[in-house]
Amino acid sequence: MTTKSKTGAYCGHGTSTNGAWDAGCTYGNYSEAYLCMRITESCVKWLKNSGVKVVTDAPGNRINMIAQVAKSNKEKVKIHVAFHCDYYKAAPGTLPLYVSSEGKKLASKMNYYVMKDVGMKTRGLGYRPDLYELAQTNMPAVIFECGSIKADLKVMRDKYDKYGKACAHGICKYLGVPFKSTLPNKNPSGIKLPARGYFKKGDYGKKVLSLQKWLKAKGFGPRKLTSKYDTNTIQAVLSFQKYYGLDTDGEFGKNSLSVANAHTK
């Protein structure tokens, strides 16, 4: 794939400029960073499935907004997209933001498929030359406000894969890349999670090794596959739990296994 379709796709919030956790807007137990990371991850998956090379922070959301812009500029991507959602008092509907004429075209393509395939309402497109991500990128950029964290919560929470897929469809249309709407294999690595539903510090063996391989394949770490449920593995599990909105206890229990299986099959 040539760099003509190389795309920057990032999750808004998650990591602040000082390296601390940045949840973005919140409502109940849900945060902007959590909801938008799942949409970002889905969008990246469908873009890659269509042959698009993607520069991203998904999964994990480990770089801040300034670093995201710098990465897109350094990698010379064709477009830059960041996913956000609006605060709880906002009206329902999407609100893609842009600054350039090409950014507006990209925003329009993405918005069309989100409305068509997800059934989202829209508040239209917004021209925002004052926003860093739009003003400092060297390419057409869009901040895609996915909706209100309160009014559109169910859609962003329960239809995140359909949402990300629709965004990827719109991006592909803008890039002139054929969109592939089916996945050949959702688990191409062939790595299987152990059926056992509970791991804690001190455990070891082949089942722990399988878990480590799965976590590493998903981008959470650990770097070394030791077959031991050690400190590095606990950190990887904590990253996984934080990313999917689970209780962050560092122990891989039934809830963690259930969520992991849902993102493997």
Mean pLDDT to the nearest integer, 117-141:
97
Query: Given a cut of 70, is residue 57 above it in pLDDT?
Result: yes
Options 3.30.70.560, 3.40.50.720, 1.10.101.10, 3.30.200.20; CATH of 206-262: 1.10.101.10
**Residues 98-117: pLDDT tens digits?**
999 999 999 999 999 999 99
Q: What is the CA radius of gyration of the chain?
A: 18
pLDDT value of position 151: 98
Average pLDDT score, the chain: 90
Residue 121 pLDDT > 60: yes
Provide the pLDDT for residue 2: 46
Single pTM value for the model:
0.73
- Three-class secondary structure of residue 7 per DSSP: strand
Beta pairing, strands 26-27 & 30-31: antiparallel
Check pLDDT > 50 for residue 204: yes
Does the pLDDT of residue 37 top 80, yes or no? yes
Domain boundaries, the chain: 3-175, 206-262
Give, for 36, the enclosing helix (H) or strand (E): helix 32-49
Give the CATH H-level superfamily of domain 3-175: Zn-dependent exopeptidases (3.40.630.40)
